[in-house]
Amino acid sequence: MLWHLKLATLVVTFLHVSLAPAFGQTCNDYSNENIEEESPTQRVGTALSDRDQAIQWSQPADFTEILHFIGDADQLAEHEGIDFIYSDRAVAQVSVRSAADGKVVYVRRGCPQSYPFEPNTEKRGCGGDWGNHIVIVHPNGLFTRYAHLQPDSIQVHVGQKILRGEELAKMGNSGRSDTRHLHFELGVAIQLNSCEPAQSFKYIYNPAVYLGWDDLL
């Protein structure tokens, strides 16, 4: 199974979005090959109308199979995003692209992976189970996460402005992953510290429902 299996932890936060880490410092990325982070399971949000959706979205990767979002409103999600699986071994590299214009606010590097088409056996908890991953904030205040990226394939850094469809990295099998795929999340964040280990969103949404991707429902 590709689901993130993480301990549910109640996080008390203030309703204030802050992208600046402690002491006003920023980091281009966070990289540590020696730790396996633990991130709280994310809760499914309910308010779908409080964000301006008048920006263009596109699917972030090609795929041969899909594993759907699973979760009910106001509950902890069972599967926190959509998995874009690419199982054709004849295709050596699969691009991961930004789903919309935005700005990179978090990059996690340094997570290893074993063979791409079997369950990863190398530090599965690295990156809070997400492995190597990128978080982007979009003009409407929504955030997207691109997880399980191939080691050494990330092409962006914190603070970089990104256009819809721009390549971010290559699809991989890092973290708690059972085969090569992109785990894609949509949510809102309260605080992201670019110099710290992996961090959960405050709330997440089903990307297929929120973004009108009817072919993925």
CATH number of the domain to which 134 belongs: 2.70.70.10
* Rounded average pLDDT over 65-73: 96
pLDDT band of residue 48 (cuts 50, 70, 90) is low
Cβ atoms of 201 and 145 within 8 Å: the answer is yes
pLDDT band of residue 24 (cuts 50, 70, 90) is low
pLDDT band of residue 52 (cuts 50, 70, 90) is low
How many domains does the chain divide into?
1
Residue 150 lies in a domain: yes
Residue 22 lies in a domain: no
Residue 15 lies in a domain: no
**Domain interval for residue 123:** 37-212
Residue 55's contacts (CB-CB under 8 Å, 6 or more residues apart) are 100, 101, 138, 139, 140
Residue 204 lies in a domain: yes
Residue 192 lies in a domain: yes
Residue 158 lies in a domain: yes
Residue 111 lies in a domain: yes
Residue 6 lies in a domain: no
Checking if the pLDDT of 214 tops 70, the result is yes
Instruction: Give dist(CA 5, CA 29) in Å, integer.
Output: 25
Please report how many Cα atoms fall inside a 13 Å half-sphere around the Cα of residue 205, on the Cβ side: 20
More confident residue, 17 or 198: 198
At 185, list the tokens. 């999340």
Checking if the pLDDT of 51 tops 80, the result is no
* Rounded average pLDDT over 171-183: 98
Segment 86-105, tens digit of pLDDT: 999 999 999 999 999 999 99
Instruction: Tell me the percentage of the chain whose pLDDT exceeds 70.
Output: 86
Instruction: Give dist(CA 155, CA 9) in Å, integer.
Output: 32
> H/E/C letters for each residue in the chain?
CCCCCCCCCCCCCCCCCECCCHHHCCCCCEECCCCCCCCCCCEECCCCCCCCCCCCCCCCCCCCEEECCECCCCCECCECCEEEECCCCCCCCCEEECCCCEEEEEEEECCCCCCCCCCCCCCCCCCCCCCEEEEEECCCCCEEEEEEECCCCCCCCCCCEECCCCEEEEEECCCCCCCCEEEEEEEECCECCCCCCCCCCCEEECHHHHCCCHHHC
* Rounded average pLDDT over 64-90: 97
Checking if the pLDDT of 14 tops 60, the result is no
Specify the pTM. 0.88
Q: For the chain, give the mean pLDDT.
A: 88
Cβ atoms of 187 and 202 within 8 Å: the answer is yes
Kind of pairing between the strands at 65-67 and 82-85 = antiparallel
At 135, list the tokens. 């978080």
Instruction: Give dist(CA 125, CA 6) in Å, integer.
Output: 9
